[in-house]
C-alpha cells in the first residue's frame, strides 16, 4: 500500500497539553515575544555629516573614505594618505561647503531632509494597506544607520523587508556598499527577515519619463534658452569600469534614452562625469573641464542636470550649481542654470513608488 499524498496525510498530533490555556494560533506560555507578519520597505541613501564643524566632518569623511568599496587602493598606501593628510586638511573646507547648502531650519544636510520626506510620502502611498507595510529610511554613512533601522522594522513585526538603494544606476561604491550594510546586520541576527534588494532602474520608462518631464518643466521656467544642456553623473575611477562595474554603461544608457526623447543634436545635449578625487583617471569627460571648455569656446548659455541623484545634495547644490557655475561664468559664460533633481516631487515619488510596487509583488 502506497503512502498517501502529502495533502492527504493527517496532521501530526500535538502533545495533550500543548494548547492548554492557549487560544489556537497563539504561542505557548512563556514564549518570547516576537512580532511578525508585516512588510518593511527601507529607503537607503548615501549619507551626510551630522554638523558642519571640523570634528563632525572628520568623522563623516573617515567613515566614508575608509570604505573599501569606495576606495580600493591598497590599505598600506591609503591609510597614511587618509589619516595624515586628508582627515587633517579636508574637514575644514568640506565643512564650509556643507554650510553653504545646510538646512538650518532642521539643522541637517538637504540629503537627509529629502530622503526623510521621500520615506514619509511613500508611507502615505501605502496607507490604504493599514499597518501591513512599514516604510523607513537610513544612510550608509552617518545617521540613521541601516542596522538600527532594520532592527526597528523587526521590532514592528516586519519579517520581510525590501531594501531600496536610492541610486538609479548600479555601482559597487553606492549600491553594493549599501547592501553590504544590510547583509552585515543580518549576519548578527538569529531570526533573519526575508530580504529583497530593489535593482537599479536606469532604463525604466517611468524614470526616464519623469526625468524628461522634470527637465522640460525646469527649462520652461528659465528666462533664457540654453545652447547646451550638460547631463552630469557622479564619476568613479576608470579602473572600476575595467574591473567589470556596470555603472558607466548604465549612465550612458540613461543619457541615450534622454537624448532620444529630446531629439537634440549631439553638440546641444552632452554627457559628463563629476566629483573626481585624487590623481587616478576617472570616467571621462570630466564635468568641470567640460563646463570650462564650453565657456571658452564661446557658449554663453547652458544648463546642467544630474539624473543619477534621487535627491539634491552637496554634489548637486554646491558642486554643480556653485562651483561649476563659477567655472562657466569665470571663463566667458553668461547664463547658467542648474535643473533640480526629482527629490520628493510628485514625479520623483512616482519613480520610487513604481520601483517599490514592482518589487513587492508576491508580498503585497
The secondary structure of 193-248 as a DSSP string is PEEEEPPP-TT-HHHHHHHHHHHHHHHHTSSS--SEEEEEEE--BHHHHHTT--HH
Report d(CA 359, CA 198) in Å as an integer.
6
pLDDT of 16 strictly over 90: no
- CA 102 to each of CA 11, 62, 74: distance values in angstroms, whole numbers, following the listed order: 62, 20, 34
State yes or no: 315 annotated in a binding site: yes
Mean pLDDT of 206-212: 98
Same domain, 186 and 49: yes
Tell me if 316 is assigned to some domain: yes
Tell me if 364 is assigned to some domain: no
Mean pLDDT of 329-344: 98
Same domain, 271 and 351: no
Identify the domain containing residue 150 by its residue range.
Answer: 38-200+347-359
Tell me if 334 is assigned to some domain: yes
pLDDT tens-digit readout, 17-29: 433 333 444 667 7
Same domain, 192 and 263: no
More confident residue, 145 or 30: 145
Report d(CA 75, CA 227) in Å as an integer.
45
Same domain, 77 and 132: yes
Residue 168: pLDDT band (50, 70, 90) is very high
Same domain, 145 and 218: no
Tell me if 67 is assigned to some domain: yes
Residue 18 has a pLDDT of 37
Whole-structure pTM over 0.85, yes or no? yes
Tell me if 135 is assigned to some domain: yes
Residue 315 has a pLDDT of 97
State yes or no: 281 annotated in a binding site: no
Give percent of the chain above pLDDT 90: 89
pLDDT of 1 strictly over 80: no
Tell me if 3 is assigned to some domain: no
More confident residue, 249 or 17: 249
Same domain, 76 and 170: yes
Report d(CA 225, CA 359) in Å as an integer.
40
Give the cell for residue 81: 594618505
Residue 34 has a pLDDT of 65
Q: What is the CATH number of the domain that holds 116?
A: 3.40.50.1400
Same domain, 187 and 240: no
Residue 35 has a pLDDT of 72
Same domain, 224 and 300: yes
Amino acid at each position: 500500500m502506497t503512502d498517501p499524498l502529502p495533502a492527504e496525510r493527517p496532521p501530526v498530533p500535538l502533545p495533550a497539553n500543548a494548547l492548554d490555556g492557549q487560544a489556537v494560533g497563539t504561542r505557548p506560555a512563556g514564549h518570547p515575544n516576537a512580532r511578525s507578519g508585516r512588510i518593511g520597505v527601507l529607503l537607503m541613501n548615501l549619507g551626510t555629516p551630522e554638523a558642519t564643524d571640523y570634528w563632525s566632518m572628520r568623522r563623516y569623511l573617515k567613515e566614508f573614505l575608509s570604505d573599501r568599496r569606495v576606495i580600493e587602493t591598497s590599505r598600506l598606501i591609503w591609510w597614511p594618505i587618509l589619516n595624515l593628510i586628508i582627515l587633517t586638511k579636508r574637514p575644514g573646507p568640506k565643512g564650509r561647503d556643507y554650510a553653504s547648502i545646510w538646512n538650518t531650519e532642521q539643522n541637517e544636510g538637504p540629503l537627509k531632509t529629502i530622503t526623510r520626506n521621500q520615506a514619509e510620502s511613500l508611507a502615505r502611498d501605502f496607507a490604504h494597506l493599514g499597518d501591513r507595510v512599514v516604510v523607513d529610511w537610513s544612510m550608509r554613512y552617518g545617521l540613521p544607520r541601516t542596522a538600527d533601522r532594520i532592527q526597528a522594522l523587526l521590532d514592528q513585526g516586519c519579517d520581510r523587508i525590501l531594501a531600496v538603494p536610492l541610486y538609479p544606476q548600479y555601482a559597487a561604491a553606492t549600491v553594493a556598499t549599501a547592501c553590504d550594510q544590510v547583509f552585515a546586520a543580518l549576519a548578527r541576527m538569529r531570526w533573519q527577515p526575508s530580504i529583497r534588494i530593489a535593482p537599479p532602474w536606469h532604463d525604466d520608462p517611468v524614470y526616464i519619463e519623469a526625468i524628461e518631464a522634470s527637465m522640460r518643466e525646469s527649462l520652461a521656467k528659465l528666462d533664457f534658452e540654453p545652447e547646451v544642456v550638460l547631463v552630469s553623473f557622479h564619476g568613479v575611477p576608470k579602473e572600476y569600469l575595467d574591473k567589470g562595474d556596470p555603472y558607466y554603461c548604465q549612465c550612458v544608457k540613461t543619457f541615450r534614452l534622454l537624448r532620444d526623447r529630446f531629439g537634440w543634436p549631439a553638440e546641444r545635449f552632452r554627457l559628463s562625469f563629476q566629483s573626481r578625487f585624487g590623481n587616478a583617471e576617472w570616467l571621462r569627460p570630466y564635468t568641470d573641464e567640460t563646463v570650462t571648455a564650453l565657456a571658452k569656446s564661446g557658449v554663453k548659455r547652458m544648463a546642467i542636470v544630474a539624473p543619477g541623484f534621487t535627491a539634491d545634495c552637496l554634489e548637486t547644490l554646491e558642486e554643480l550649481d556653485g562651483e561649476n557655475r563659477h567655472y562657466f561664468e569665470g571663463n566667458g559664460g553668461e547664463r547658467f542654470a542648474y535643473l533640480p533633481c526629482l527629490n520628493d516631487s510628485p514625479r520623483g515619488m512616482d519613480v520610487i513608488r513604481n520601483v517599490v510596487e514592482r518589487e513587492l509583488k508576491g508580498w503585497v
